[in-house]
Structure 1
């Protein structure tokens, strides 16, 4: 079986699965309709891009439709960026300003208007035959790769900021969702880098290598998309969005007036700190696995901004770690209790406010330097 037949088979499978998944995402009833629609759009735009082998079979020779189809590659990474935005922020809405993401797509097509879209078939054939010397194709080739680099950097910066905001304001289980989305973006970045290599080889003396890389990309994209959706659909609560109006503590600190804090400010901080610690010990809000800084703010009547500065800036801890400290202390007390020696580690982690064994083990080891199981064994040995 030659590489053309392999390419057609892989393309067909990829197109069918992408289209079925896109239809499912657009029709399934869920509160995450915008996110689903954007990911469906990403699947459809990708499908249009990989449709090339079939398009070349169905349509003979260069055409406006064929060139326009290839320009949809400009839309892939912007749509993915908007999808990540919608996943990260609960109040995300598509707005007219998001149309600016269409600019590279529009510019790329406008560049082709005079010498491709607006000429006859013979001129189109000549344009394609001399593509290596055509400034329009060179420009679009450079533009799309600059676009990919810029958007990938933007996605990583967005995820980094969102994770920090989550750590500073939430103490739930879903911090792992941002880690996982980060991993997915890394994998997607590798795919785009491989596509860059493919495009470079396409205009070199090794076009056949480019074709085999294309087959590899089609197969990898198929598995990556299926992997991502399998994960998301099997864990519908995986992504817990945050409010985009939240500010990082570093931004709040920079907004404060420069200079040393007054004695009155320091006294106020000390009073608020005592109030917070007393509340944490007496009311045990950390037992709530979905605890947020807003919940505590409402209970102890300290503004969210002040409470965030107190914990994240004055104490030097993320809210996530601050709450987990109390959870781990509570877990350690249970592990020390001889009357609860039959209680399993899994039962303990749920009892103290955790929702996953991995996050519990990570937090426990960070706090004690050892695992919960080993900690319990050490206590049992010391009592012998």
Structure 2
């Protein structure tokens, strides 16, 4: 059995790693900023929660200190779900209403001095609500993951699933805390510490590979964003995606840059490859045509060709990947 000192060292190192990883993710500027924000917020909230448990195991905390730790879950829960959305739907706009999901955290923070922490039924009820809060967002997140399984790459699906599995296992340990099982109470932080090291390795390894991919490029972050805006402007003004022969060289020639720089700008700012980026515009065009009453009697092949696809098969595959249904089913609804 682990000694008290070793438990403290393992848990403390895990907490330090969690804080480092959360602030590192917050600092990332390339790609989808909202994705980085919600991932950082999730890790930070979970780290606060686990930190409370570690401290409380060794040093008796006052009520308000305990409650600050508990409030971390009210940050982590919605951040977990919103991270999935920003990960899978890169072009989805996060509206101000989205942040209403963090309202329970704000209310809990305001009421911190009044929330009981004495082990009676009222305390059990209040902390039971916090347990249910994470349970609810875990269910919503798992449902969202499998609902979008066919729309995202295997790598993205696998990455988000690993995060959900880890979070679910952590919360199983903390159910023991709610039931006053001391063994589970301290076992959770240890498990979390190991898990956060695994997350850190996977995330940092993936990010390092991304940086190495364009390490020899002379295109810096600022120029990458500028070029990306030029690419978008070209696509929207000239509708080059309607040409089924469009490729990197054609776009590079129009913008007088290297084809590798076109690929880099798209990848760094959207985390998509060139053809996924092109197909995104084509599918949006196809959705418009499928909803158009004047195209009601047109064949799916006609929609495919007018949207820029070279054949019906690639159209069906790309359309289902993005929407989850085939063009025929989409048209009926």
Q: TM-score, normalised by structure 2?
A: 0.60
CA distance in 1, matches of 2:9, 2:120: 30
CA distance in 2, matches of 1:59, 1:227: 33
Answer whether contact 1:11 1:218 (CA < 8 A) is retained.
yes
Match of 2:307 in 1: 303
Identify which of 266, 272, 287 aligns with 1:240.
272
Answer whether contact 1:77 1:148 (CA < 8 A) is retained.
yes
85-94 or 212-221: bigger deviation: 85-94
Answer whether contact 1:42 1:76 (CA < 8 A) is retained.
yes
1:63 and 2:66 are equivalent in the alignment = no
Task: Give the number of equivalent residue pairs.
Answer: 259
Cα distance 1:3–1:149, how it changes in 2: closer, same or farther (>3 A)? farther
CA distance in 1, matches of 2:282, 2:205: 31
Answer whether contact 2:127 2:178 (CA < 8 A) is retained.
no
CA distance in 2, matches of 1:118, 1:245: 53
1:151 and 2:150 are equivalent in the alignment = no
Give the C-alpha shift of residue 98 in structure 1. 1.6
SS in 1 for 2:68: helix
Match of 1:227 in 2: 202
Cα distance 1:219–1:88, how it changes in 2: closer, same or farther (>3 A)? same
CA distance in 2, matches of 1:234, 1:67: 40
Match of 1:16 in 2: 16
Match of 1:197 in 2: 172
SS in 1 for 2:62: coil
SS in 1 for 2:99: helix
CA distance in 1, matches of 2:124, 2:157: 38
1:298-377 equivalence runs, <5 A: 302-304=306-308, 307=309, 311=312, 317-319=316-318
Cα distance 1:253–1:221, how it changes in 2: closer, same or farther (>3 A)? farther
What 5-or-longer segments of structure 1 have no aligned partner?
Answer: 164-177, 277-301, 322-384
Give the C-alpha shift of residue 185 in structure 1. 2.1
Give the C-alpha shift of residue 218 in structure 1. 2.5
CA distance in 1, matches of 2:99, 2:171: 26
CA distance in 1, matches of 2:33, 2:180: 46
Cα distance 1:182–1:193, how it changes in 2: closer, same or farther (>3 A)? same
SS in 2 for 1:193: helix
CA distance in 1, matches of 2:282, 2:192: 38
Cα distance 1:24–1:136, how it changes in 2: closer, same or farther (>3 A)? closer
CA distance in 1, matches of 2:197, 2:121: 30
Identify which of 176, 182, 189 aligns with 1:207.
182
Answer whether contact 2:32 2:90 (CA < 8 A) is retained.
no
Identify which of 160, 183, 201 aligns with 2:149.
160
Q: Deviations over 1:333-376 (max 9, x none)?
A: xxxxxxxxxxxxxxxxxxxxxxxxxxxxxxxxxxxxxxxxxxxx
Cα distance 1:253–1:44, how it changes in 2: closer, same or farther (>3 A)? same
1:117 and 2:113 are equivalent in the alignment = yes
CA distance in 1, matches of 2:81, 2:130: 20
1:21-170 equivalence runs, <5 A: 21-28=21-28, 30-56=30-56, 60-106=60-106, 113=111, 117-118=113-114, 124=116, 127-130=117-120, 134-157=124-147, 159-160=148-149, 162-163=151-152
1:287-302 equivalence runs, <5 A: 302=306
Answer whether contact 1:88 1:240 (CA < 8 A) is retained.
no
Cα distance 1:104–1:29, how it changes in 2: closer, same or farther (>3 A)? closer
Give the C-alpha shift of residue 67 in structure 1. 0.2
CA distance in 2, matches of 1:229, 1:181: 15
Give the C-alpha shift of residue 240 in structure 1. 1.5
Q: TM-score, normalised by structure 1?
A: 0.54
